[in-house]
Amino acid sequence: MAERAAEGGAPIPELFGRVGHILVSSLDLDTALGGIVDQALAVIDADVALVHLLDRPGQHLKLQIARGLPAEAASEVTIAPGQGLAGRVLLDGKPRHGVNLQRDPRTHFRALAQRLDWQSFVAVAIRLHLQPIGTWLLVRRRREPFSAQDLELLSSFADFASLAIERSWLLHTIVQEKHESEAVIDASASGILVVDAHGHIVNMNPALEELTGWQLPQVRGELCCDIVGCREAAAGSETPGICPLRLESVEERAFVEYRIRTRDGRWVPVEASYGLVHDEDGDLARVVIVFRDITQQEERNRARAEFIATVSHELRTPLALIKGYATTLLSPGVVLDDAKTRRFMQNVNSAADRLNWMIDDLLCASRLDAEELHLRLQPFDLRLTVRKVLSWFQPHASRKELIGDLPAEGLWVWADPERVEQVLLNLLTNAARYSGAGTQIVVQAQLLGDPLRAVVHVIDQGIGIKAEHLPRIFDRYYLTDQSRKGIGLGLYICRGLVKAMDGEIWVVSEVGRGSTFSFSLPAWTRPEGAGNP
């Protein structure tokens, strides 16, 4: 066959040489496949060539290449597997031919064949790894049948076509997978660093760029140790940390914690894990290091440890007091008069109260965290609550003047009265704690805005709060550098309770002049025609 010349065309070797050239020079499916079809038409005398390929799910045959088909007719040659002539060829892989396409009962687009006067035809399957993936139909506008040699040639061309298709599909898959991994790497919230087997930086994702302050083009090819200089977790330690260059034990080093250096010389605590990429010979080609910034986690751990220390200390103080008085009272030979005993017992009582409040605060905070707070929402007059809390708090105000500035009219809100008392008490306790003797503490309440809200201000003339503390003052365990006693839960609880009752809480403060803590609650308006609640 290599000696033969195709009928009316180039010798076979030359022809296949051209096809080979097409295959190596283009990865684009339409270019390569179209070129092969054109080569086939140069040696097989046909008026029309249609190549249909199965789509990826393998459900539809899509017209991929058409020669000799008027553009407006393209929509008429769509076929499903099993349907029509091409569909049958696809199903069983066997070629079909005949001399009257218009009359052939297997023809799917008979009307088109009649309109365009299509007569003689041959259809072969295009197979990939023995599986039919498409069909190739040649048509003549005359009854002259296709010869056995035409059929043989067409089958060879169909094999070349399948090579072009496979290459293009493979390329498509590789490109798609590359785009997918790039998207995953780019979108990852964790920092990702890729280094070669010698530790030179190959890639870095945007999250790591943000974490380190470096841009990939500035550090590509640099030794990763020179850039991120990993160090053991101990702050400021100069001991080299886990380095991808010390590869012998890299596999064991999943989720190690250490610090990496940023461009501006800061050390960021990270948790790192490694992935190793080997080449075909099994040699290490790349190390992928995934960094997770654990600054916040470290901060939380530190705050938790500090909190436990503070709570233990705060609980121990009243306990020590109780224990001290009890030991004195129980000591043999100690005889106290009634007045002294009573004073002792009052001190024991208020120490026990303090313990109780602290435990209440701890429980309330944990309920807020677990979102297990049960509220008894109801309408009530906020003025009564404010008056009640003020009179209750009076003995604890330690020489501060307490003033209630309340409207003459009822101030109805929709909230949980006990929880509102708790918020007011917390704010008053702080106001008294951080104000000097002889100053005033004013509780002001009014209805404001649309929708109508009740707004309560607790105004003190105390030490005030530095501006730098204000953004975090309502955070859990937050204590300022001026804190006197306390576990940093009071304002956290206030915010949690107010928010749970659909209100807002905020603070305005000036160092040396005092603070105003304010909160709002939904106002309650009596439904038309309803009596008293």
Residues that bind ligand ADP (CB under 6 A): 430-431, 434, 460, 462-463, 465, 473, 478-480, 482-483, 486-492, 515
The CA distance from 45 to 217, in Å, is: 57
Closer by beta carbon to ligand ADP, 147 or else 480 = 480
Q: Minimal distance in Å, beta carbon 347 to ligand ADP? A: 21
Q: Minimal distance in Å, beta carbon 515 to ligand ADP? A: 4
Between CA 54 and CA 63, with CA 59 as vertex, the angle to 5 degrees is: 40
Closer by beta carbon to ligand ADP, 107 or else 515 = 515
Closer by beta carbon to ligand ADP, 273 or else 483 = 483
The CA distance from 517 to 463, in Å, is: 14
Q: Minimal distance in Å, beta carbon 300 to ligand ADP? A: 17
Closer by beta carbon to ligand ADP, 44 or else 465 = 465
Closer by beta carbon to ligand ADP, 4 or else 484 = 484
DSSP line for 105-163: TT-S-HHHHHHHT---EEEEEEEETTEEEEEEEEE-SSSPPPPHHHHHHHHHHHHHHHH
Residue with nearest beta carbon to ligand ADP: 486
Q: Minimal distance in Å, beta carbon 313 to ligand ADP? A: 12
Specify burial of residue 257 (Cβ count, 10 A radius: 0-12, 13-18, 19+). Answer: middle
The CA distance from 521 to 417, in Å, is: 11
The CA distance from 272 to 246, in Å, is: 14
Q: Minimal distance in Å, beta carbon 442 to ligand ADP? A: 12
Instruction: Provide the β-strand partners of residue 523.
Output: 413
Q: Minimal distance in Å, beta carbon 454 to ligand ADP? A: 21
Closer by beta carbon to ligand ADP, 351 or else 489 = 489
C-alpha dihedral over 86, 92, 97, 101, to 10 degrees? -30
Selection from 287, 262, 263 nearest residue 274 by Cα: 287
- The continuous run of DSSP H or E covering 211 comes out as helix 206-212
- Strands (DSSP E) found in 461-513: 505-510
Q: Minimal distance in Å, beta carbon 382 to ligand ADP? A: 21
The CA distance from 366 to 233, in Å, is: 31
Closer by beta carbon to ligand ADP, 134 or else 496 = 496
Closer by beta carbon to ligand ADP, 385 or else 426 = 426
CA distances to 52, 333, 459 from 49, rounded to whole Å, are 10, 120, 89
Q: Minimal distance in Å, beta carbon 361 to ligand ADP? A: 7
Structural contact between residues 39 and 67, judged by C-beta atoms closer than 8 angstroms: no
